Amino acid sequence: MLIAPSILAADFLHLEKDVETINRYADIIHLDIMDGTFVPNISFGFPVVEAVAKVARKPMDVHLMIVHPEKYVERFAKAGAALISFHYEAAQEESGAVLDLIHSCGCKAGIVINPDCPVEKIFPYLDKADYVLLMSVFAGFGGQKFIPETLDRIKAVRKELKRIGRPEVDIEVDGGVSPSNAGELAKAGVTLLVAGSAVFKAGNPAEVIDLMKNAK
């Protein structure tokens, strides 16, 4: 299992310290970009991503919760993203073109859906995606409670990936993830876990990362 701590829950006054925790103990740095329109919250933008890039020794995974993701993909790639995901709800039938655009910028491409979007909506794009991000809370805020119905959605996407002969595609889950649900997420077919609060609000982030990494 790969672990991607979300810096949304980090200490922004001492961001370097929290990025260093990810460098040392985790696999991927998850960066949440919120525009106040696609989601009712605003997080951070290019200056923060560029600053993190200067000290990052793990790949940066940019999760775009914005309208018109196609307008900003190239700038996030230039800012240092290695993986970029966007919401199907924001791109709709342009999703294939956005995945192509992300690839043309040299990044791995992911497609994201909120808990109320039927998983079948993204099936037409699974041949192009390097990873699928299934939200296990509604995008927009850290610290929410994990929605258990996500487990069946993971299984459905995993099954479809097998059917089309693409078992290597990662399934990432984001929202309310902690050591207490990491095991069942692994069993359902998740390969990449995002966790914000569970890691950075913990007394010992390294231990929490380790517990999730080894959860079975």
Q: Is 32 tagged catalytic?
A: yes
Q: Catalytic site residue 152?
A: no
Q: Which residue has the tokens 């260093």?
A: 20
CB 53 within 8 A of CB 84: no
Among 144, 156, 184, 202, binds ligand DX5 (CB under 6 A): 144
Site for Zn ion in 168-197 (CB under 5 A): 174
32-61 positions binding ligand DX5, by CB under 6 A: 32
The residue within the footprint of ligand DX5, chosen from 176, 179, 189, 205 (CB under 6 A), is 176
CA distance 171 to 154: 8
Catalytic residue among 11, 18, 32, 210: 32
Stretch that binds ligand DX5, among 47-55, 101-109, 140-148, 203-211 (CB under 6 A): 140-148
Minimum distance from residue 165 beta carbon to Zn ion (Å) = 28
Q: Which of 2, 18, 22, 32 binds Zn ion (CB under 5 A)?
A: 32
Residues 6+ apart with CB under 8 A from 113: 87, 88, 89, 119, 121, 122, 133, 134, 135
Which two three-digit tokens encode residue 126?
A: 């699974």
- Match 């996500």 to its residue by tokens: 150
> Could you tell me which stretch among 40-48, 57-65, 121-129, 185-193 binds Zn ion (CB under 5 A)?
57-65
8 binds ligand DX5 (CB under 6 A): yes
Counting other chains too, the contacts that 201-210 makes at CB distance below 8 Å and 24 or more residues apart are 201/9, 205/5, 205/18, 205/21, 205/25, 206/21, 206/24, 206/25, 208/178, 208/179, 209/3, 209/5, 209/25, 209/26, 210/25
Residue 69 or 175: which CB sits closer to ligand DX5?
175
Binding site for ligand DX5 (CB under 6 A): 6, 8-9, 30, 32, 63, 137, 139-144, 174-177, 194-198
